[in-house]
């Protein structure tokens, strides 16, 4: 929920936590930029800070172990409360560490990136990357609460703002023409532009509605993977050779290619593809993958855990804005054509 006073929003959770059992997970950046705000909100309540390295390359088992270790060393019991103060990498990892330590601790997410606010910190998916595959190990575990406090965005770097905006665009495409047009009308040049809290609430509500209807991703929730089949493959290609890239950029590139597939296979309105392609060229640039990597993208997609059958790639595509369809299998030729469109824009 969006809150205007972090201190009072936290009270019920702090009151239910014994002395010495409050833990705050931060990464290097959120420690420097966001912890001062949380520290003020926590007032006199003593807490133990656990600091992990920032960046998707640290979304690993080793970092999960670091969190388990710190909890153990500081005598966390099953009554402990973990506050995850960070972006989506941190809320995914912290949620997993909390869900598994002593078979489950309570945790509260306080997302600090736009992406985590509108997407990663709600819905209960937690986990980490393994063997180079995104989010391969994880579990569903709901936070006690997700507290969205917009002033935390003040220190967010511009490219991270764009990363979150990409996931917002995805929610717009899954919702209505009006929502999509409102998002397109935002002043993207002014990345410090504060997103109206009503728009943020509407955007998050799209995800929450879908998750409520299908919490464990049996069918409808797969719609939220729109853009992610190709997007994750691009993300893995970047990470495979040690390049960092914000998650939302990959999702945006993936959405361009998957919108192309939607136009090709399901008659989606081509104008929406044109709008998104222009936005990509204006703000996100093109994905930098060489020919060899492009060929490997299909291999990465084969590993996607959303695939129903080995050797077949499943996509969530759109017939129209707000009219998505899951479990679409397309031919290799169609996939090559979509990738060709993306890379030659």
CA 301 to chain centre: 18
Catalytic residue among 171, 221, 239, 294: 221
User: Is residue 175 a contact residue for ligand NAD (CB under 6 A)?
Assistant: no
Count of beta carbons in the 10 Å neighbourhood of residue 96: 25
Beta bridge partner(s), residue 138: 127
Stretch of 110-118, 173-181, 198-206, 264-272 lying at the interface with ligand NAD (CB under 6 A): 110-118
User: Is residue 152 a contact residue for ligand NAD (CB under 6 A)?
Assistant: yes
Cα–Cα distance list, 31 to 35, 38, 42, 152 (Å): 5, 10, 14, 12
Whole-number minimum distance, CB 6 to ligand NAD, in Å? 13
Closer to Zn ion by CB, 66 or 203: give it. Answer: 203
Range 23-42, binding ligand NAD (CB under 6 A): 27, 29-30, 33-34
Stretch of 59-67, 69-77, 243-251, 271-279 lying at the interface with Zn ion (CB under 5 A): 243-251
Maximum Cα interatomic distance, the chain, rounded to a whole number of Å: 62
User: Is residue 92 a contact residue for ligand NAD (CB under 6 A)?
Assistant: yes
Between helix 247-266 and helix 332-343 the angle, nearest 10°, is: 130
User: Is residue 125 a contact residue for ligand NAD (CB under 6 A)?
Assistant: yes
Contact partner at residue 200 from ligand NAD, Zn ion, none, CB < 5 to 8 Å by partner kind: none
User: Known catalytic residue: 207?
Assistant: yes
Question: Judging by DSSP bridges, how do beta strands 125-130 and 106-111 pair with one another?
Answer: unpaired
User: Is residue 163 a contact residue for ligand NAD (CB under 6 A)?
Assistant: yes
User: Known catalytic residue: 74?
Assistant: no
Contact between 86 and 27 under an 8 Å Cβ cutoff? The reply is yes
User: Which string of DSSP letters, residue by residue, matches 124-154?
Assistant: SEEEEEETTEEEEEEEE---SEE-B-GGGGG
Contact between 279 and 285 under an 8 Å Cβ cutoff? The reply is no
Residue nearest to Zn ion (CB): 251
Residues at the site binding ligand NAD, with contacts judged by CB under 6 A: 27, 29-30, 33-34, 54-56, 59, 86-90, 92, 112-113, 115-116, 119-120, 123, 125, 135, 152, 155-156, 160, 163, 246-247
């Amino acid at each position: 929920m969006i809150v205007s006073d972090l201190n009072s929003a936290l009270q019920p959770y702090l009151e239910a936590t014994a002395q010495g059992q409050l833990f705050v997970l931060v990464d290097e950046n959120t420690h420097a930029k966001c912890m001062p705000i949380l520290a003020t909100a926590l007032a006199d309540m003593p807490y133990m800070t656990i600091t992990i390295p920032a960046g998707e390359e640290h979304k690993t088992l080793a970092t999960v172990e670091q969190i388990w270790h710190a909890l153990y060393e500081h005598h966390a019991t099953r009554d402990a409360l973990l506050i995850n103060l960070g972006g989506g990498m941190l809320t995914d990892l912290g949620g997993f560490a909390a869900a598994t330590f002593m078979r489950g601790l309570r945790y509260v997410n306080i997302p600090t990136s736009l992406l985590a606010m509108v997407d990663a910190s709600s819905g209960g998916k937690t986990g980490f990357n393994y063997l180079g595959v995104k989010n391969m190990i994880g579990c569903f575990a709901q936070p006690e609460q997700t507290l969205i406090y917009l002033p935390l965005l003040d220190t967010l770097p511009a490219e991270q703002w764009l990363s979150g905006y990409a996931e917002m665009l995805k929610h717009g495409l899954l919702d209505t023409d009006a929502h999509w047009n409102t998002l397109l009308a935002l002043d993207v040049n002014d990345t410090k532009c504060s997103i109206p809290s009503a728009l943020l609430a509407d955007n998050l509500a799209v995800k929450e509605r879908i998750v409520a209807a299908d919490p464990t991703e049996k069918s409808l929730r797969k719609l939220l993977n729109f853009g992610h089949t190709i997007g994750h493959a691009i993300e893995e290609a970047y990470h495979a050779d040690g390049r960092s890239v914000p998650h939302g950029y990959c999702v945006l590139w993936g959405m361009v290619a998957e919108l192309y597939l939607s136009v090709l296979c399901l008659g989606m309105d081509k104008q929406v593809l044109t709008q998104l392609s222009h936005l990509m060229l204006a703000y996100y640039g093109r994905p930098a993958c060489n020919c060899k990597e492009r060929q490997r993208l299909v291999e990465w997609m084969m590993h996607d855990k959303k695939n129903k059958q080995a050797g077949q790639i499943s996509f969530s595509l759109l017939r129209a804005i707000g009219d998505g369809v899951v479990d679409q299998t397309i031919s290799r030729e169609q996939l090559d054509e979509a990738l060709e469109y993306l890379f030659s824009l």
